[in-house]
Structure 1
């Protein structure tokens, strides 16, 4: 749903401070979290290698990347605390804030092309590789890939938009192969293809941090993630209609590639280093034909280094919010969830509960598996364990779990098609994918690492020292004092 341009001035100003990518980058720079690299860093491997070295410490800004005129930025959302900061909440309030926005999206605000920075420059029939600095990231990647492009398309039946991030291999200046997992974008494409029609799409590169995060929401098929972005901002998101098709894109974005997903056309794509930290196979994928590129004056290109923190966090936090909401509907005593970085932000889920019944953890495990097919392992812990601290979770497994009593195994379930362990034993011709009904077959494992509801004396009580949480070491430790080791006296 869109609001028309004449209603724009009646809306309250956005509550979020970062309206576009540039404002967020300026904030990172002002707080020492943006590294400016030397000019002309090569696009093949070198740029990604430098960005990976800075991962989680500083965002990387590459002026004149690859010897061109367009700078590249990476690692802009590579700490959980940065994402909470962009939302204006504490880390503990992050999931609640995202969940609130997902449940109460705001219709977008349509603006004219003259009001849209992303259409300041328009190239019809443009060449992607000549205009944009598209990097080649990992060692065996089959060429340059767009990794931070928001792919926006409209449902051919309802007209409602969907937003996702998909890997896109740039084959030539006007043709790009895309991986579409069995989700909403693929459903839209299959509907259009059944009618022998192309599916109009836009690939948006360089958006504000909240719109980037909203793109990863696990939402119903007829929920436009740009409306969730508006709710995160606290005001309708300004959008503009593309120059060559009917897709609406964020008006404040840096770069928009307009095109069509062609019916009946497939080209080989991959291998590509994906989020599980392995390469996905070379297979025949659907193809986007590029019709136009629009951008700001002096645009900035955003790339995500695959399998690093920015990639994993952007996928995991929206999923955590959705999973928490799903579990709490049936189990109000579920307190928190976390998709671990070690579990690539997708496969391993930690759940904190206030246990009331001995069988409840196993029910929670089953409910979590049903919430998203990517989840491969669930560990349920008590309310004295911080699920965001993997060492605490491992401690709970080490001291509260027995495999013959507390292990749940479900064989032959649907899992992630990008998990390479699911393809073991399957053999297909080069470039041929397994049939859809055989992709991602996975075993699920649940661990009940909770203590008994009733136990003898303090046998399962976590050791703590009274007052330890209130200690402020800055108030206790003396600075600038030395010890005379002959007399034991303190000296200033």
Structure 2
């Protein structure tokens, strides 16, 4: 992954501590504002394309608050999780401690704390009759060929109809009517809940929660077994049980400090066209019949703030990368204790390409690590294993290792016909080449996976694989040696002219 541009050092960001008390979206935005990392847009920027264009231009530099998006009374925020360092800051750990903190929270979740009706900020205003999402919420249309406005930062919360345990996830949701939405369900836990309800001819109650703090957003993406409530991981990240409230129209529990909650039901047996939509691989997914949410109610804070994620930009990519990296690292270390670090590269859209740092002790070990990584998550398409002297967060370092330590006839692993991401457009091409047009769901996402062992031999002669270094290069004090006074070098350049 390419490193993000170095953040500018300023006294405000160094001096301002995190706000006291529970971290909420508002307290986090206030903190970003106090450290010159929040831009406010007062002009009524258009919800169709322009808002997303502005947010994309500021992505990774500043979060942006649109005060009057499209002339709407509800402001829109985007980009408040668009740097790894910011997410670590919200956790209260150094950037190098991100994965360990995430892994620890997933391993030691805290049960939620339910507050009484009437005490939750997210239910200060309640709309139960004739809900019109287009009038209530400023929902942007992001990319050029998107088929209308989409909710992109909504936590989808539902309960397993068989066990009652909740699941939290994020899905793209197209709002194509005042009170109906189409949602993309991939083969994960929410899809399993819906299929179980649909088999019984029942609707599945669901809540779409918009506007939560960065830690709760991050927890929603944790890779866990089914029947594992991600809101409990959010509590562990906060260091205290997350406060929740029961929805007004169902038994679903939602974060009490959220900005907006859309309550509804996933309807059995109903499908409506959804898409195209610009997804995280930076391509459009096609229009297909999708599951339908019937909206029953909307609750929100007084003067709520709407959060949107610009698809395929850093907030979107990092939100998926960090929880996956934490899970992948734990998975690999169980069988391969020499694994020291992992990284999902930005070039691989923080999903498909994995770099692994390995303290290799035996030949062949890197290939086993590659196979373990493929089994850890079906999205992973390419794995590069490197030695401990290579920084997996620097793509130039990884490429250098491949260029100098990899031979394709000995170090390449290829697995054909494996399950991959259905959002990877190259899998559709592969299906077409096999003579399959418009493949059924069970045939979608079939791909080849590639592993590269870019590690040096455990033993090698002399200095053949010794990395060139200059003693003192990393510790020398350049500031004390280098003169910035033009008169110092002008005197030398002028001599002999």
In the other structure, the counterpart of 1:10 is none
How many Å separate the matches in 2 of 1:464 and 1:49? 44
Structure 1 residue 487, shift from structure 2 partner: 5.6
User: Alignment partner for residue 210 of structure 2, among 191, 197, 205?
Assistant: 205
In the other structure, the counterpart of 2:457 is 452
2:444 maps to 1:436:
no
- When residues 243 and 358 of structure 1 are mapped into structure 2, their CA distance, relative to the original with a 3 A threshold, is same
In the other structure, the counterpart of 1:328 is 333
How many Å separate the matches in 1 of 2:439 and 2:211? 34
Q: After superposition, give the CA deviation of every residue in 1:32-76 in whole Å (9 maximum; x if it has no partner).
A: 111111321000000000100001101111011111100000011
How many Å separate the matches in 2 of 1:204 and 1:161? 14
- When residues 487 and 94 of structure 1 are mapped into structure 2, their CA distance, relative to the original with a 3 A threshold, is closer
What is the 5 A alignment of 1:89-488?
Answer: 89-125=93-129, 126-424=131-429, 426=431, 434-480=439-485, 482-483=487-488, 485-486=490-491
- Secondary structure of the residue that 2:463 maps to in structure 1? coil
- Secondary structure of the residue that 1:337 maps to in structure 2? strand
Structure 1 residue 484, shift from structure 2 partner: 5.6
In the other structure, the counterpart of 1:58 is 62
- Secondary structure of the residue that 1:230 maps to in structure 2? helix
- Secondary structure of the residue that 1:159 maps to in structure 2? coil
- When residues 310 and 437 of structure 1 are mapped into structure 2, their CA distance, relative to the original with a 3 A threshold, is same
Which has the larger displacement, 311-320 or 118-127?
118-127
How many Å separate the matches in 2 of 1:488 and 1:426? 65
How many Å separate the matches in 2 of 1:256 and 1:474? 53
- Secondary structure of the residue that 2:327 maps to in structure 1? helix
Q: After superposition, give the CA deviation of every residue in 1:80-135 in whole Å (9 maximum; x if it has no partner).
A: 11111111111111000000000000000000132210000000131111100000
User: 2:125–2:301: 8 Å Cα contact kept in structure 1?
Assistant: yes
How many Å separate the matches in 1 of 2:492 and 2:486? 15
How many Å separate the matches in 2 of 1:378 and 1:168? 31
How many Å separate the matches in 2 of 1:15 and 1:337? 31
How many Å separate the matches in 1 of 2:199 and 2:411? 47
How many Å separate the matches in 1 of 2:449 and 2:83? 29
How many Å separate the matches in 2 of 1:307 and 1:100? 28
- When residues 475 and 227 of structure 1 are mapped into structure 2, their CA distance, relative to the original with a 3 A threshold, is farther
How many Å separate the matches in 2 of 1:453 and 1:163? 44
- When residues 63 and 458 of structure 1 are mapped into structure 2, their CA distance, relative to the original with a 3 A threshold, is same
- When residues 402 and 424 of structure 1 are mapped into structure 2, their CA distance, relative to the original with a 3 A threshold, is same
How many Å separate the matches in 2 of 1:327 and 1:53? 37
How many Å separate the matches in 1 of 2:336 and 2:21? 35
Which has the larger displacement, 349-358 or 468-477?
468-477
User: 2:430–2:447: 8 Å Cα contact kept in structure 1?
Assistant: no
Taking structure 1 as the reference length, what is the TM-score of the superposition?
0.94
How many Å separate the matches in 1 of 2:189 and 2:427? 23
Q: After superposition, give the CA deviation of every residue in 1:384-428 in whole Å (9 maximum; x if it has no partner).
A: 000000110000000000101100000000000100100115469
- Secondary structure of the residue that 1:468 maps to in structure 2? coil
How many Å separate the matches in 1 of 2:21 and 2:381? 37
In the other structure, the counterpart of 1:43 is 47
How many Å separate the matches in 2 of 1:402 and 1:204? 49
- When residues 16 and 223 of structure 1 are mapped into structure 2, their CA distance, relative to the original with a 3 A threshold, is farther
Structure 1 residue 481, shift from structure 2 partner: 5.9
Any gaps of 5 or more consecutive residues in structure 1? 1-13
How many Å separate the matches in 2 of 1:38 and 1:464? 52
Q: After superposition, give the CA deviation of every residue in 1:172-206 in whole Å (9 maximum; x if it has no partner).
A: 11000000100000000000000100000000000
How many Å separate the matches in 2 of 1:303 and 1:55? 13
Which has the larger displacement, 393-402 or 109-118?
109-118
User: 2:155–2:170: 8 Å Cα contact kept in structure 1?
Assistant: yes
Q: How many residues align?
A: 474
How many Å separate the matches in 2 of 1:161 and 1:484? 68
